[in-house]
Amino acid sequence: MPLLIRGGTVVNHDHSRRADVLVDGESIVAVGSSISAPTGADIIDAGGCFVIPGGIDPHTHLEMPFMGTVTADDFESGTKAALSGGTTMVVDFCLPDPGQSMLAAYQDWRHKSEKAAADYGFHMAVTSWSKQIYDEMETVVKTYGINTFKHFMAYKGALMVNDDELYNSFARCAHLGAMPVVHAENGDVVALMQEALIARGVTGPEGHAYSRPPEVEGEATNRAIMIADMTGTPVYIVHTSCREAHEAIARARAAGKRVYGEPLIQHLLLDAREYENKDWDHSAQRVMSPPFRDKSHQDSLWAGLQSGSLQVVATDHCAFTTAQKRFGRDDFRKIPNGTGGLEDRLALLWTAGVATGRLTKEEFVAVTSANIARILNIFPRKGAVAVGSDADLVVWDPKATKTISAKRQMSKIDYNVFEGFSCTGGPALTLSRGRIVWKDGNLRAEAGDGHYVERPAFSPVHVANSTWKELTAPRAVERGAVTP
Ligand code: DUC
Ligand code: ZN
Ligand code: ZN
Ligand code: ZN
């Protein structure tokens, strides 16, 4: 049955206007003023509300084995949390076990994600370099519809890749029309600082933050950008948390490089004082990498979102229960790294961004949905309120209020790092591919309702970065031919 959303203000990343939205099946079939309702259409009154594209969270870790345990939210609880906050798609990190092939890891992730309630896609992690990985990357891009490969510059001895591995993998990405995604922290320096702290008897969660100062992130961000540029690939830096990293990204963009930066809602709103809490659980619950920063860094991140030098707000949703966090009771290095946020990202960003005047509502749509869809090559199927786009829509009520509490959340963990935050603005109704999945505070989506979204390779034009254009011909040929 067709569905007409009437009387709202449609907000896209580039403009807003009063318009009705007609949905038929899974798609938007009309956007315009005073659309007359087809016979039998359901009518939704959006008066006083904004009609925005469903949020996309490009950074989640659902049911992921990590640091000796497994993240607590799986594809069912994670995507239900997403939907109840107005996020209609997540992009999760497929992480091969040590020695596991990418192809087997992909099958594992497809299996785990069968119970997703919202649409989802994957990034694929590259955690070492070999002929097998070189070959498998082609299948990942061409057959599985994954155009992004994740690299960890931290987690030495586990997931970390070195500069030669980064160069080879980035070059392979450039050749395949894929884009590297990078966790940028200098893992060698982190490991040294961790050891030094432990040797001095610093074993609590504050040691986690001391061992990962902003310089560690700024250096690695700069290095990732330079290596990407040498191979002629764009690069996407995840969880940009500090001024040093933002400045490296802004500098690269000003030089014409396609570099993207992704602050998390956590870093925008929470700061390093969280680790001074006398309650060990409180501090450990907030251990993530990169850690929360001194408050002064937040202004830089907000400025980046305002100016466009940072493009995305994500969550890195990587939720562990308090019991799991206690694995690191005697040694901060064993506290599983990660925090949640999937459920609250939109309402928190609206409250701290739009309601305060830091962001326009169009910028809000850009950083929570449209920019992400464009960067990940699924626009305008996702990320737009436009004819032909998937009907992933949120009727956003700017007057809705909510106080965040773990007691009322969909996420399976027993706390919320935003406990007690009051939000203004929230989803009144959410559609996922044309189905009502959230209405009047009730979730109507079921496990299995989500679809896997393939993301095609980028066009060759996308990989023409500034430095690469200046490279000599032999060097340019070499670029795509790094065979292990
Ligand atoms: N950081 C986290 O806090 N958790 C998951 C992985 C990461 O890089
Ligand atoms: Zn299966
Ligand atoms: Zn990371
Ligand atoms: Zn992550």
At 476 the pLDDT is 44
Condensed to tens digits (0 to 9), the pLDDT of residues 418-459 reads 999 999 999 999 999 999 999 999 999 999 999 999 999 998
**Mean pLDDT score, 38-58:** 98
pTM attached to this predicted model: 0.96
Specify the residue with its C-alpha closest to ligand 1, atom 4: 338
d(C-alpha 29, C-alpha 387), whole Å? 5
At 463 the pLDDT is 52
d(C-alpha 32, C-alpha 119), whole Å? 26
Give the atom of ligand 1 at the shortest distance from the alpha carbon of 238.
8
CA Rg value for the chain: 22
Best mutation site among 316, 325, 335 for ligand 1 pocket (most ligand atoms within 8 Å of CB): 316
pLDDT confidence tier of residue 469, bands split at 50, 70 and 90: low
Tokens of 30: 């009309």
Which bound ligand lies closest to the C-alpha atom of 123? 4
pLDDT confidence tier of residue 460, bands split at 50, 70 and 90: low
Contacts of 343 (CB under 8 A, 6+ apart): 81, 82, 84, 85, 409, 410, 411
At 82 the pLDDT is 98
Give the atom of ligand 1 at the shortest distance from the alpha carbon of 288.
3
**Mean pLDDT score, 94-114:** 97
Could you tell me the CA-to-CA distances from 202 to 16, 197, 324, 332, 483 in Å, in that order? 52, 5, 20, 8, 44
State percent of the chain over pLDDT 90: 92
At residue 431, what are phi and psi to the nearest 5 degrees? -110, 140
pLDDT confidence tier of residue 481, bands split at 50, 70 and 90: very low
Give the atom of ligand 1 at the shortest distance from the alpha carbon of 183.
8
Residue 473: pLDDT over 50:
no
d(C-alpha 11, C-alpha 18), whole Å? 9
pLDDT confidence tier of residue 132, bands split at 50, 70 and 90: very high
d(C-alpha 316, C-alpha 307), whole Å? 23
Mean of pLDDT over the chain: 95
Residue 478: pLDDT over 70:
no
Where would I find the H helices in 255-381? 265-269, 280-285, 296-307, 322-325, 345-349, 361-365, 371-375
Ligand 1: lining residues by beta carbon, under 6 Å:
61, 183, 288-289, 316, 318, 337-338
Collect residues with CB below 5 Å from ion ligand 4.
316
Centre of ligand 1 to C-alpha 316, Å, is 7
Contact 336, 205 (CB under 8 A): no
Centre of ligand 2 to C-alpha 110, Å, is 7
Which bound ligand lies closest to the C-alpha atom of 109? 2
Could you tell me which residues are beta bridge partners of residue 237?
Answer: 182, 261
At 316 the pLDDT is 98
**Mean pLDDT score, 233-246:** 97
Centre of ligand 4 to C-alpha 187, Å, is 15
Contact 299, 247 (CB under 8 A): no
At residue 359, what are phi and psi to the nearest 5 degrees? -125, 145
At 475 the pLDDT is 46
Centre of ligand 1 to C-alpha 357, Å, is 30
Residue 194: pLDDT over 90:
yes
Identity of the amino acid at 273: R
Residue 392: pLDDT over 70:
yes
Specify the residue with its C-alpha closest to ligand 1, atom 8: 289
Centre of ligand 1 to C-alpha 100, Å, is 20
Residue 326: pLDDT over 50:
yes
Q: Say what angle helices 214-231 and 243-254 make with each other, to 10 degrees.
A: 20
